[in-house]
Structure 1
Amino acid sequence: MRAIGLTESYDASPSTEDGERLVSIEEVSLVYGRGKKEKEVLRNVSLELREREFVCVLGASGCGKTSLLRLIAGYEQPSSGRVRVLGREKAEPRPEVGVVFQHANLFPWLSIRRNAEFGLRMQGVGRAERRERAEEAVRRVGLGDAEDKLPFELSGGMKQRAAIARTLAASPRIILMDEPFGALDAITRENLQQQLRRLWLASRQAIFFITHDVDEALLLATRVVVLGGSPGSVAVDAPNPLYSEEESTAELRKRQEYGKLREQLVESLKHA
């Protein structure tokens, strides 16, 4: 496992060692299929996610990033090793773990607010409370004026904000995000990166964020993980030297060390 190197020259992000360990992945391997169709996707992966962390996972297509997220979400079970989420030995889907995918997957017949209410309704939350929580979540992502619109009336960026609102409404302790801005144009993506960063700074819910975008990782993460190889394994797991609570993403891009860090991280991806 290699570090990002520049941590020797620049201050790393504040330690979260005192934060509770929410996710623990220990020597995990994942194999799909059997016999001649058997394919090992992940091998001996170990990492953790602590409260208040924003961890970005980078890697080339096919290195197992999404499979890793699915293990944490409980959609898959490891072939070997252990995945512990919120103290439980076996990961399984639960309200405390929210998931945002690349495509919003909103219910087309429900308004934005009712989409945000849906998970709460499945949990048995009363009508008045779920409406209040959904309205607050929709407001937090900047869609308060559009809460009664249907998904077809929204732009791609608005749909993703609605999907984030649906996750926030459930008040999860962990938010898993699988390339949520990957299908959006550059300007919309940058706007949503800034908004997500503001939301995280306000709530400090732990975020596990899958991306193939080096800039996105440097601008958002407190910690950067690089998966490489096939089967995928952890090549880099290091604090993000650019992490700052005071500077905007635009200001971070202007920092002298930004280009050097970006180049170094790209090299890590090439040799992972």
Structure 2
Amino acid sequence: MGEQPENVSQQNIARRGSRMFAPGEGPSPDPAGAHFERRIRSFQPRRSRVTAGQAEAMLKRWPDWGLDIDGKRVLDLDGMFGGLPVVLEIGFGMGEATAQMAAADPGTGILAVDVHTPGQGNLLGLADRNGLTNVRVANGDAIILLREMLTEDSLDGCRVYFPDPWPKKRHHKRRLIQPDFLTLLATRLRPGGVLHCATDWEPYAEQMLEVLSAHPDFENTQPDGGYAPRPAFRPLTRFEGQGLDKGHVVHDLLFARKPRDRDDR
């Protein structure tokens, strides 16, 4: 077994305490810190161990392709993506599907948000090995990103694939797809921009459909007002395949940002 490069050794990581990477070399444990209100979140940070390959990809690509969601600056998406239309992906797991979509559509930039450190390193590694220059990895809270760091009409779409369903009733308030989230997202989506959700948790799919259908800023792209067939551009993920093997039914929802009224322009 070959030696690990010194800069990704477990000894160095241990010396940094709770921070896995030095400032500027990788994601921060809590990038927004105490700058913003404490509130109920739809996610739980998972700082599990990264592999040597994931750490090496992080050290190589994070300075150019990664960013912490600290809420202290407004992002220049045109500069980041060379003028490409940009889609926000919230929660990408290990990044395999994100990398496939980026490779299939190099004319679209993907701003991929997650808090899972191994997944961040894995996606950066996939992007690096496959020359996917249209991917950027953001670490932290997507709400702070939307509210503090993105401008109005800056996104061409948003993808939320298999978010945590928070199945217990007392945890339903933690689900991401809620009216307040949709109202915020609508300000960042250009008119016509599509929010694409997918879940294999039936009760959450029903809630998504109900909340989205009732929201004044969104309209269902399906004429019958129901779920959409899985679009060809959304890859079948390993996680999804496992759910299908268990008999789960996957629902896709595609809702477009409504055109603004003349008085709102």
More relative contact order, 1 or 2 (CA 8 Å, 6+ apart): 1
TM-score in terms of structure 1 length: 0.27
Structure (1 or 2) with the greater strand fraction: 1
TM-score in terms of structure 2 length: 0.28
